[in-house]
């Protein structure tokens, strides 16, 4: 059996150990800064930006199918997506998704929060499929930590759930029951609400259109993401290869499931050190893990600030999150049977226009 790599002074995945691990990684990164291949790093960030553009294009096509009579500009949906990604890079609990939905709602005339929100989750169909394939590949390589090893990793994100399995089960059960109750209540009292939710999913009623206008763009985005990680690995001297890039994608998929840190940064760092044991030195992997996170986060935040300013005239993302939550709660309090004049004809959808 392969033993977990040792982490000096990190006996358990507490918040303190996670912070200590990050500081160790940051020290390794800055001490190895001269060894970074800046050309490969720049190209990796360009591929990362192209990946976001493709994902936003798929979302744009989903919204255009939901609102075929409205004039929707892709650049505004792109800006909404980039702004949300930037906020997710610095805030936990997927706060950036509120920003994405708020800005997109204000970019689509006569749109509603239920429809825009449901359209946002259309991309999860392809993501779950592709992510499952990547995870299966990682499992066949035998490099991911087993459940008994998770509490020993210096990642509070992972260790908390591993050390409290009953609480994890309770949380999952409570969420499931809560969603079922919410579904039952809304099914009875909010017929109009569900009509708007279905409107955001209308592109799924035409499978060929979905494949051409959404799945194809997401497939391109996943491919660009793969090559982006490939060149990140090259930039930080880990070694770009098909296997390594797929392992990084599987680690990122796992780490983003934990909401305690922005983008699951703590879990991602600990998992990368574990996964690449034997492939590179611990110092090199630490430098890579924090270097990649810093580079992506800095790029995302810079792009988000520009997008927020162009779309809303402000760079205060906290006010955007607050306004988004307030507007969504206000919309939920409205009588679902009283659609506004601009929404009265939205149930009559038309086929999506070609890209």
d(CA 121, CA 115): 10
Cα dihedral 140, 143, 145, 148, rounded to 10, equals 70
Residue 54 CA to residue 71 CA, distance in Å, equals 20
Determine what percent of the chain is predicted with pLDDT higher than 70. Answer: 66
- Closest by alpha carbon to 352, among 199, 164, 132? 199
The pLDDT tens digits of the residues spanning 292-335 come to: 988 999 999 999 999 988 887 777 777 777 777 777 677 666 64
Lowest-confidence range among 107-116, 172-181, 213-222?
Answer: 172-181
The model's pLDDT over 226-243, given as tens digits with 9 standing for 90+, comes to 999 999 999 998 988 999
Closest CA to 221 of 51, 103, 341: 51
pLDDT at 69 over 90: yes
Contact between 277 and 289 (Cβ < 8 Å): no
Gap between the Cα atoms of 280 and 262, Å rounded: 26
- Answer yes or no: is pLDDT of 61 > 70: yes
For 280, list phi and psi in degrees, rounded to 5.
-155, 165
List, for residues 82-131, the tens digit of each pLDDT value: 999 998 888 876 778 888 998 999 999 999 888 998 998 899 899 999 99
pTM (2 d.p.): 0.75
């Amino acid at each position: 059996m392969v033993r977990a790599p040792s982490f000096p002074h990190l006996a358990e995945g507490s918040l303190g150990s996670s912070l200590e691990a990050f500081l160790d990684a940051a020290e390794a990164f800055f001490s190895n800064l001269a060894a970074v291949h800046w050309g490969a790093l720049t190209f990796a960030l360009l591929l990362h930006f192209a990946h976001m553009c493709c994902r936003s294009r798929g979302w744009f096509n989903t919204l255009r199918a939901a609102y075929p009579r409205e004039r929707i500009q892709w650049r505004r949906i792109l800006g909404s997506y980039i702004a949300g990604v930037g906020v997710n890079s610095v805030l936990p609990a997927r706060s950036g998704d509120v920003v994405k939905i708020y800005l997109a709602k204000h970019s689509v005339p006569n749109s509603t929060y239920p429809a825009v929100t449901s359209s946002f989750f259309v991309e999860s169909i392809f993501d779950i499929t592709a992510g499952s394939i990547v995870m299966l590949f990682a499992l066949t390589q035998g490099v991911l930590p087993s459940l008994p090893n998770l509490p020993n990793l210096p990642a509070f994100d992972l260790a908390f759930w591993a050390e409290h399995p009953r609480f994890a089960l309770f949380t999952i059960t409570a969420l499931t029951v809560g969603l079922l109750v919410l579904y039952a209540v809304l099914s009875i009292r909010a017929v109009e609400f569900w009509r708007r939710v279905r409107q955001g999913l209308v592109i799924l009623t035409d499978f060929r259109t979905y494949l051409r206008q959404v799945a194809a763009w997401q497939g391109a985005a996943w491919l660009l993401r793969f090559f982006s990680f490939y060149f990140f690995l090259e930039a930080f001297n880990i070694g770009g290869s098909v296997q390594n890039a797929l392992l990084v994608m599987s680690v990122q998929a796992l780490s983003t499931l934990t909401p305690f840190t922005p983008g699951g940064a703590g879990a991602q760092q600990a998992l990368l050190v574990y996964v690449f044991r034997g492939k590179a030195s611990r110092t090199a992997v630490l430098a890579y893990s924090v270097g990649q996170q810093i580079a992506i986060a800095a790029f995302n935040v810079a792009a988000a600030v520009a997008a927020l300013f162009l779309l809303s005239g402000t760079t205060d993302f906290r006010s955007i999150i607050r306004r988004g939550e307030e507007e969504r709660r206000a919309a939920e309090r409205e009588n679902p049977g009283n659609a506004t004049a601009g929404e009265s004809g939205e149930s009559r959808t038309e086929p999506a226009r070609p890209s």
